[in-house]
């Protein structure tokens, strides 16, 4: 079963990549522009908000894409019930699909799992973290002679 953190992290990464593609197609290069667009609006300081506003004056399309990105994050962070959360998600899908077709398709195919998040706000962040750490340990430790040696290495690294 897919969880909220899988959806949110993956979808926000896809959204950021899409916004970045739009930025590059518009010829708005520079790391500062990219940084402004990838940062959540609530995390921007006043000066960065002014810079972002100036960037949006160059492209309304980029501004709309950024607003859709922020809206999806806001939907996940809101204290919605299952019914209102899914209604917000469906409304977002209806309009944002023009900019984020891949993301919209992914969301539509996983709406039941998303509804579970709105029901109880649980995530599998701890499990995802452990899985990531295991993959890193295995990548750094090629050539185990036996399964038992690999198991011992994992246990030693995970439970110091």
Q: What is the mean pLDDT of residues 109-124?
A: 71
Q: Mind listing the pLDDT tens digit for each residue in 61-96?
A: 889 888 988 888 888 777 777 788 788 888 888 888
Residues with Cβ within 8 Å of residue 1, at least 6 apart in sequence: 113, 116
pLDDT in tens, 132-144: 888 888 877 777 7
Rounded to an integer, what distance in angstroms lies between the CA atom of residue 97 and that of residue 105?
8
5-49, pLDDT tens digit by residue?
445 566 677 788 888 888 888 888 878 888 888 888 888 899 999
Which of the four pLDDT bands, split at 50, 70 and 90, describes residue 2? very low
According to the model, what pLDDT value does residue 5 have?
46
Please give the span between the terminal C-alpha atoms of the chain, in angstroms, as a whole number: 30
106: pLDDT strictly greater than 70: yes
User: What does the pLDDT average to over 155-159?
Assistant: 81
Q: How far is CA 107 from the centre of its chain?
A: 12
**Whole-model pTM above 0.85?**
no
């Amino acid at each position: 079963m897919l969880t909220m953190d899988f959806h949110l992290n993956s979808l926000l990464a896809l959204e950021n990549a899409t916004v970045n593609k739009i930025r590059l197609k518009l010829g708005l290069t520079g790391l500062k522009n990219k940084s402004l667009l990838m940062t959540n609006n609530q995390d921007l300081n006043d000066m960065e908000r002014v810079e972002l506003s100036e960037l949006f004056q160059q492209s309304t399309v980029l501004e709309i894409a950024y607003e859709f990105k922020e809206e999806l994050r806001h939907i996940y962070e809101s204290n919605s019930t299952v019914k209102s959360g899914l209604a917000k998600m469906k409304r977002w899908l209806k309009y944002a699909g023009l900019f984020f077709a891949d993301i919209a398709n992914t969301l539509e195919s996983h709406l039941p799992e998303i509804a579970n998040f709105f029901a109880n706000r649980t995530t599998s962040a701890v499990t995802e973290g452990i899985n990531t750490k295991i993959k890193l340990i295995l990548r750094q430790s090629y050539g185990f002679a036996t399964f038992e040696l690999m198991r011992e290495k994992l246990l030693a690294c995970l439970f110091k």
